[in-house]
Amino acid sequence: MEQITVLYPEELCLLSTVACVLGTVEMFSQAERFWTSQGRIPKYQLLVAGTSGKKEYVRNLVSIKTDAHIAEIRKTKLIIIPSALPPKDTEDNAVMTDWIAKQHKAGADIASMCSGAFILAATGILDGKNCSTHWTHADKFRQLYPNVNLQANQLITDENGIYTNGGAYSFLNLLIYLIQKYYDRETAIYCSKYLQIEIDRNTQSVFSIFSGQKQHGDEIVQQAQEFIESNVDTKIFIEDLSSKFAIGRRNFDRRFIKATGNTPIEYAQRVKIETAKKAFETTRKTVNEVMYEVGYNDVKAFREVFRKITGMAPLAYRAKYNNTL
């Protein structure tokens, strides 16, 4: 029987860390129970491995008793890293990231949940690979790990045994995905039904709330951001915007991308669509009314951009999130 290890990074714990660990134990227990109930031999043993050996209470509320220290884990099929604080420069954290890297080199697959991506990225394993994390952490993640291809809209990324997922309780969707990978589709469907978790979700775009990155120190770019945000109802031409600040278009684009992670066009689209989302959530306005208010006059173009950013059509979004209708 092979082993799956759930990391419990004691010094970096949040309440969400505990939720991820307990959710993983529950989900894989159900998967193993279903698997063996079909007359098959046991497949995986799940262990929770700590990193410091200290008993720490999260928010003076809860503490997890681990099965082992990571140093005792010699070989594992899969390491699951829960949501956690970004690792600091401590001896325990260095031991933890070294252990993850060595296990991966020895053949272990790795999966990170939510902000656990910071721990995984600290090992260097994610360099050059795609990755997801909670959308609120995207700017900080890009600053700390510029060599990782952050895909903040993706719910799950899968790069040959390196798995990451988006924010908060979407870790349950990652677990369903992993159960399908490590058991089979039938077991994944059973777990999704038994624990009532939607199967085959693939985006967290609809949950994102766009807030432009402004902690970058480029005053011109910040002024451009403020102009875009103050003129949501206007169709903005980037050539005019770069001329307004007396910067060539190519240089303006380069500075804007470096500062915000978006091109000027992408930024303007996200600002407009965020305004449109709020209108659909809180008013009875039609698609056309909202479209005109955010500077579009082509309904097809508006729908395409809205779907690209949110993963949903405007009418579907309004139906899902507006409780005044």
| pLDDT (average), residues 291-305 | 95
Q: What is the pLDDT of residue 325?
A: 59
* Residue with more model confidence, 135 or 17: 17
> Which segment of 50-54, 180-184, 307-311 scores lowest on mean pLDDT?
50-54
| pLDDT (average), residues 278-285 | 91
Contact criterion met (CB below 8 Å) for 233 and 271: no
DSSP state of 94: H
- 186: CB partners within 8 A, 6+ apart: none
Where in the chain are all domains bearing CATH 3.40.50.880?
Answer: 2-205
Query: Which residues are registered as beta bridge partners of 102?
Result: none
Length of the chain as a residue count:
325
According to DSSP H, which parts of the chain are helical? 15-37, 91-105, 117-122, 138-144, 171-182, 185-194, 219-230, 238-244, 249-260, 264-282, 287-293, 299-310, 314-321
Confidence band of 211 (pLDDT split at 50, 70, 90): confident
Q: Give the domain 2-205 fold.
A: Rossmann fold (3.40.50)
β-pairing verdict for 162-165 and 156-158: antiparallel
β-pairing verdict for 78-81 and 2-8: parallel
CATH class for the region spanning 219-321:
mainly alpha
Q: Flag whether pLDDT at 277 surpasses 80.
A: yes
Please provide the DSSP assignment of 211-256 as one string.
----TT--HHHHHHHHHHHH-TTSPPPHHHHHHHTT--HHHHHHHH
State how far the Cα of 4 lies from the Cα of 69, in Å rounded to an integer: 14
Neighbours of 265 (CB within 10 A): 14
Question: pTM for this one?
Answer: 0.73
Kindly report, residue by residue over 232-268, the tens digit of the pLDDT.
999 889 999 999 999 999 999 999 998 888 899 999 9
Where in the chain are all domains bearing CATH 1.10.10.60?
Answer: 219-321
Q: Which of 76, 87, 142 is nearest to 120 (CA)?
A: 87
| pLDDT (average), residues 163-182 | 93
State how far the Cα of 69 lies from the Cα of 264, in Å rounded to an integer: 48
Element containing residue 79 per DSSP (H, E): strand 78-81
| pLDDT (average), residues 46-66 | 88
